[in-house]
Amino acid sequence: MTERKRTPWVVGVSGASGTPYAAAVVRGLLAAGEDVDLVVSRASRLTLLDETGIAFRDAHWRDDLAEWLGRGADGKPGTFRVPDLDAVRYWGAGDLAAGPSSGSYPVKGMLIVPASTACVAGVALGLSKDLLQRVASVTLKERRRLVVAVRETPLNGQTLKHLVALDEAGAIVLPASPAFYAGATHIQDLVDFVAGRVLDAAGVPHRLYRRWEGELGGARPRGQSGD
């Protein structure tokens, strides 16, 4: 029996606040039948520990990822059914010899969720100081889709220049900025909106949020009217 050929999306998680965004994107990709190569930066492990209490470990990444994906944006365990993780391959952030570090390794593109300003600077300058930045550089040079979900505020002039440089290099700059027209009633709704926009930019189908259909007031619950 021949092995199924994988052409994954690389999901890079940097140290910015917003680990629920990354979890929602991974869940969305797996739900759409996509393969995922996961890169979790060293800084993001500290953020993940602070935001969820999960200590992400290389040797136990599958168990830790399962716990992460099962949590809601409010940190409650068991909110989501954990998807089958056989479609996920994990690469350590310090492994510069990993598959995605080479342009000959087949991937559909890369989604950096969330992207810190330090990560944005490193990718824009081509530093490749860790695997996450290296894969982003490879994605750009191979003219593959790169979505950068920047999640810090305010942004100074230097970061804005870096974001313009990424845009000019072909990346999609996608601020983690949730909208409210979709009828959000829970923090998870806001997280899913941003995750859905990331998947939109990647061309991956999903049902994470209610799309705008040109009807004012469509986000209001039934029976609720405006003043």
Query: How far is the C-alpha of 124 from the C-alpha of 130, rounded, in Å?
Result: 14
Residue 226 backbone dihedrals phi, psi, to 5 degrees: -80, 165
pTM value is 0.93
Distance set, CA 197 to CA 58, 93, 107, 114, 128 (Å) = 29, 26, 20, 13, 26
Radius of gyration of the chain (CA): 18
Torsional sign, CA 20, 159, 127, 138: positive
Residue 212, pLDDT score: 86
In this structure, how many other beta carbons lie within 10 angstroms of the beta carbon of residue 10? 29
Closest by Cα among 78, 86, 103, 108 to 11: 108
Contact 44, 19 (CB under 8 A): yes
Residue 97, pLDDT score: 96
Q: To 5 degrees, how large is the angle CA 187–CA 192–CA 197? A: 135
Query: How far is the C-alpha of 137 from the C-alpha of 131, rounded, in Å?
Result: 10
Tokens of 227: 């003043």
Residue 221, pLDDT score: 53
Residue 50, pLDDT score: 96
16-64 residue pLDDT tens:
999 999 999 999 999 999 999 999 999 999 999 999 999 999 999 999 9
In this prediction, the residues of the chain whose per-residue pLDDT falls under 70 are 1-3, 217-227
Name the packing angle between helices 19-31 and 187-202 (round to 10°). Answer: 60
Distance set, CA 160 to CA 1, 44, 149, 153 (Å) = 50, 22, 14, 11
Judged by DSSP in three states, 138 sits in helix
